Amino acid sequence: MKIGIVGCAGRMGRMLIAEVLRTKGAKLGGGTEIAKSPAIGTDLGTLVGQKPVGVKITSDAKALFTACDAVIDFTTPAATAKHVEYARAAGTALIVGTTGLPAETKRLLKDASKKAVIVQAPNMSTGVNVLLALTERLARVLEDDYDIEIVEMHHRHKMDAPSGTALGLGEAAAKGRGVALDKVARKTRDGQVGARPKGEIGFATLRGGDVVGDHTVVFAADGERIEITHKASSREVFARGAVRAAMWTKKRKAGLYSMRDVLGL
| Structure confidence at residue 83 (pLDDT) | 97
Continuous segment of H or E residues that includes residue 126: helix 126-142
Cα–Cα distance for residue pair 4/27, rounded to 1 Å: 9
Is residue 228 located within the same domain as residue 242? no
Domain that holds residue 206: 126-232
Is residue 169 located within the same domain as residue 241? no
**pTM score of the predicted model:** 0.83
Is residue 243 located within the same domain as residue 224? no
Is residue 24 located within the same domain as residue 96? yes
* CATH number, domain with residue 11: 3.40.50.720
Residues taking part in catalysis: 154, 158
Is residue 108 located within the same domain as residue 133? no
Tell me the pLDDT band of 122, cut-offs 50, 70 and 90: confident
Strand partners, 150: 203, 217
DSSP 225: E
Report whether pLDDT(35) > 90: yes
- Cα torsion 63, 65, 67, 72: sign: positive
Position 82, amino acid: K
Is residue 57 located within the same domain as residue 133? no
* CATH number, domain with residue 212: 3.30.360.10
Is residue 60 located within the same domain as residue 161? no
CA distances to 73, 127, 222 from 213, rounded to whole Å, are: 19, 12, 29
Position 19, amino acid: E
Is residue 79 located within the same domain as residue 206? no
Is residue 198 located within the same domain as residue 247? no
Cis peptide bond prior to 77, omega within 30° of 0? no
Q: C-alpha 262: how far from its chain's center?
A: 13
Position 197, amino acid: P
State the average pLDDT for the chain.
95
Tell me which long-range contacts 160-163 makes (C-beta under 8 A, separation of at least 24). 160/99, 160/100, 161/205, 161/207, 162/187, 162/203, 162/205, 163/99, 163/122, 163/205, 163/213, 163/215
- Residue 22: CB atoms within 10 Å: 10
pLDDT tens digits, one per residue of 180-216: 999 999 999 999 999 999 999 999 999 999 999 999 9
- Total domain count for the chain? 2
pLDDT tens digits, one per residue of 47-95: 999 999 999 999 999 999 999 999 999 999 999 999 999 999 999 999 9
Is residue 203 located within the same domain as residue 138? yes
The size of the chain, in residues, is 265
| Structure confidence at residue 235 (pLDDT) | 87
CA-nearest of 93, 56, 97, 53 to 79 is 97
Is residue 135 located within the same domain as residue 196? yes
- Cα torsion 221, 222, 226, 227: sign: positive
What is the rounded (10 degree) CA torsion for 198, 102, 259, 252?
140
Is residue 138 located within the same domain as residue 61? no
